[in-house]
Structure 1
């Protein structure tokens, strides 16, 4: 059992809180029974399971390296306020796109909760891929993973320049929608096609102008009340399900 926060392994686990170290080591940290089981069921490679003393582990976890730590060390490693007493280091994995239909493009979304919710909704809506543009929060961020509720393990996610991604999609005969309020078509008045990609943008600035100009259609969700706009994850969910009709 590890009891010192000065232990080198503990220090390395803590470094996984940063994108730089996650990228360098090609692995990331997850917390809680549900997320670890989702990683296991989805076939992602679990490097190490970290368990707080006194916590029982599932039977299937015995096939992996299990490292027990005391409560002080576990709090040092994890980031949630009320951890469940189990965490894991998981190796990054590139999922293959299984279908050629609906794609989501994310332009500089910075809030981890928003991105995680969007990933979860894209998974639920059966999207075939998500592309994260420059300036978007890292999808291996702890808060993104928790907000995704494990959907990060189900749907292919890649990083690319949004304009380059649009070019590739158009070459593959995709129609591109962009979500914005100005000079836009009411989403009720447009029908999704077999191969459609949706762009959603930054919480404050929206979608970059050059990206808007590259879209085939700019679509909006009408605001009937006094709110200026919808949260980006809510708007993304409405439009993704519209595209599925």
Structure 2
């Protein structure tokens, strides 16, 4: 096990750079923080490149990092890598992978969602609902943003999450007779009017503006969730959960 005690060590500087989108894109890697996320990465195995642990922290006995380099660092270095108020002292560098959707039949399309908490929650919800893949369009927050990773709670390691042109994906799926449902407040049908299915795509959009009009014009149908109280709308992550669980057969 390597031990690093200088904050000026080149590896430490590189880890810190991974807190920026620019370096994540350049290196094709990202940094995760916390026991739960690191454990999920270790279970998946292929993406994890290195575990970083504070000298004040003991690795859980159930973990098996065999084959994965583990680097011990000072508490000062550990805290410098954290973006949380209560650092757990455990991190990992992971590889961004270009996922294949294979025989996927159910999809969540995300159009310009910018709040990382919402974004991560939708990924986690899609994972829980058994959705096969998530496709992220232009204008959305970075898939590997630290707040997105924490909100998704390890779902990044469970299903394909890919960047793509939503128009191309909609055309592709419709060519395969897979319905694509947009979400809108106007010119839409109540979501309970459509049937559950084992193949579909759901498009959800920006917190303020919703799904873009050009995408709504190309969907199979657009859906809305009735509001029975005085609220103007539902949080996009909550709406995503309602619709995915209803649509999934």
Equivalent pairs counted in the alignment come to: 245
1:45 aligns with 2:47: yes
- Structure 1 residue runs of 5 or longer lacking an equivalent are none
TM-score (norm 2): 0.94
- Partner in structure 1 of residue 92 of structure 2: 88
Which consecutive segments of 4 or more residues in structure 1 shift more than 4 A? none
- Partner in structure 1 of residue 136 of structure 2: 132
The equivalences for 1:64-75 within 5 A come to: 64-75=68-79
- Partner in structure 2 of residue 223 of structure 1: 227
Name which of 111, 116, 126 aligns with 1:112. Answer: 116
Q: Give the CA deviation at 1:98.
A: 4.9
Q: Give the CA deviation at 1:96.
A: 3.2
**Residue deviations 1:38-81, cap 9 Å, x none?**
11112333221111112111351253211111111111112111
Contact 1:2–1:69, Cα closer than 8 Å, also in 2: yes
Mapped to 2, the partners of 1:109 and 1:45 lie a distance apart of: 25
**Residue deviations 1:193-231, cap 9 Å, x none?**
332110000001111110000011110000000111000
**Residue deviations 1:10-61, cap 9 Å, x none?**
1110110111211111111001111111111123332211111121113512
- Partner in structure 2 of residue 60 of structure 1: 64
TM-score (norm 1): 0.95
- Partner in structure 2 of residue 234 of structure 1: 238
Name which of 196, 201, 219 aligns with 2:205. Answer: 201
Decide which moves more: 129-138 or 3-12.
Answer: 3-12
Name which of 8, 11, 16 aligns with 1:9. Answer: 11
Decide which moves more: 202-211 or 2-11.
Answer: 2-11
Decide which moves more: 112-121 or 73-82.
Answer: 73-82
Mapped to 1, the partners of 2:122 and 2:210 lie a distance apart of: 15
Mapped to 2, the partners of 1:89 and 1:82 lie a distance apart of: 20
Contact 1:175–1:193, Cα closer than 8 Å, also in 2: no
Decide which moves more: 206-215 or 95-104.
Answer: 95-104
Name which of 24, 38, 50 aligns with 1:36. Answer: 38
- Partner in structure 1 of residue 147 of structure 2: 143
| CA RMSD across the alignment | 1.4
Name which of 143, 168, 171 aligns with 1:167. Answer: 171
1:185 aligns with 2:224: no
